[in-house]
Amino acid sequence: MKRLIGPALAVVLLVGAGLIVWRVLRPAEVLDRATGPYPAAAAPRAPGVTGRVAWAPLIVDGRIRVFAAERQVRADAPVSARTTYTPRWSFRRWPEQLSGVVAIGTTVVSRWSDGELVAIDGRTGDIAWRAAGPVAGGFSDSSRAVWTPGGLFTAGTTVLSAGAGRVAAVDVATGSVRWTAAADGCGFTTTGGSLICAGASFDAAGGARTGRSGTATPLGCGVARSGCGGFRDANGQGWLATGPEPVRAPTVDAPDGTVAVVERRTAAGTALSAFALSQGAAVVARSPLADASEAWRWAPPAGQTVRVLGTSSDAVHLLTSAGDLVTVEPSGGTVRSVVPLGIGSPLGWQVTDTYVAVESAESTVLAAA
User: Which residues does residue 168 pair with via DSSP β-bridges, in sequence order?
Assistant: 161, 180
Question: From CA 361, how far away is CA 369, in angstroms rounded?
Answer: 22
360, 350 contact by CB (below 8 A): no
Pick from 143, 139, 185: which is nearest to 162 by CA? 185
> Is the pLDDT at 23 greater than 70, yes or no?
no
pLDDT of residue 343: 93
pLDDT of residue 7: 58
pLDDT of residue 3: 54
Q: How confident is the model at residue 2 (pLDDT cuts 50, 70, 90)?
A: very low
Question: CB neighbours (10 Å) of residue 352?
Answer: 20
Question: CB neighbours (10 Å) of residue 325?
Answer: 25
> Is the pLDDT at 15 greater than 60, yes or no?
no
Q: How confident is the model at residue 282 (pLDDT cuts 50, 70, 90)?
A: very high
User: Which residues does residue 202 pair with via DSSP β-bridges, in sequence order?
Assistant: 195, 209
249, 288 contact by CB (below 8 A): yes
pLDDT of residue 290: 67
What is 31-60 written as a DSSP string?
Answer: EE---SPPPP-PPPSSSEEEEEESS--EEE
288, 238 contact by CB (below 8 A): yes
**Count of domains observed in the chain:** 1
pLDDT of residue 18: 47
Strand, helix or coil for residue 258: strand
User: Which residues does residue 274 pair with via DSSP β-bridges, in sequence order?
Assistant: 261
**130 or 267: which carries more pLDDT confidence?**
130
Q: Which of 7-21, 250-264, 350-364 has the highest mean pLDDT?
A: 350-364
Question: From CA 306, how far away is CA 226, in angstroms rounded?
Answer: 23
> Is the pLDDT at 202 greater than 80, yes or no?
yes
Count Cβ neighbours within 10 Å for each residue of 145-184 and write b for 16 or more, e otherwise: bbbebbbbbbbebbbbbbbeebbbbbebeebeebbebebe
Question: From CA 14, how far away is CA 23, in angstroms rounded?
Answer: 14
76 within domain boundaries: yes
Q: How confident is the model at residue 273 (pLDDT cuts 50, 70, 90)?
A: confident
pLDDT of residue 20: 44
pLDDT of residue 263: 77
**203 or 41: which carries more pLDDT confidence?**
203
Q: How confident is the model at residue 6 (pLDDT cuts 50, 70, 90)?
A: low
pLDDT of residue 300: 97
**CATH for 46:** 2.40.10.480
93 within domain boundaries: yes
> Is the pLDDT at 232 greater than 60, yes or no?
yes
Q: How confident is the model at residue 118 (pLDDT cuts 50, 70, 90)?
A: very high
pLDDT of residue 8: 56
Q: Where in the sequence is the domain holding 125, given as residue range(s)?
A: 29-150
Average pLDDT over residues 119-140: 96
Q: Which of 21-25, 242-246, 273-277, 323-327 has the highest mean pLDDT?
A: 323-327
Nearest-5° Cα angle at 189, 363 to 263 = 80
pLDDT of residue 44: 86
Strand, helix or coil for residue 286: strand
DSSP character at residue 193: S
Question: From CA 315, how far away is CA 50, in angstroms rounded?
Answer: 19
Pick from 330, 331, 369: which is nearest to 349 by CA? 369
254 within domain boundaries: no
> Is the pLDDT at 191 greater than 70, yes or no?
yes
Q: Any idea of the CA torsion for 42, 275, 364, 255, to the nearest 10 degrees?
A: 170
- Chain segment 152-187, per-residue pLDDT in tens: 999 999 999 999 999 999 999 999 999 999 999 999
276 within domain boundaries: no
Backbone angles phi, psi at 14, to 5 degrees: -65, -45
125 within domain boundaries: yes
pLDDT of residue 5: 57
> Is the pLDDT at 55 greater than 70, yes or no?
yes
73 within domain boundaries: yes
Q: How confident is the model at residue 288 (pLDDT cuts 50, 70, 90)?
A: confident
Q: How many residues does the chain have?
A: 369
- Chain segment 69-110, per-residue pLDDT in tens: 999 999 999 999 999 999 999 999 999 999 999 999 999 999
159 within domain boundaries: no
Pick from 137, 224, 141, 140: which is nearest to 187 by CA? 224
**140 or 19: which carries more pLDDT confidence?**
140
348, 359 contact by CB (below 8 A): yes
Sign of CA dihedral 287, 288, 292, 294: positive
pLDDT of residue 226: 98
160 within domain boundaries: no
Pick from 39, 66, 34: which is nearest to 223 by CA? 66
Q: How confident is the model at residue 292 (pLDDT cuts 50, 70, 90)?
A: confident
Q: How confident is the model at residue 313 (pLDDT cuts 50, 70, 90)?
A: confident
Radius of gyration of the chain (CA): 23
Question: From CA 314, how far away is CA 60, in angstroms rounded?
Answer: 19
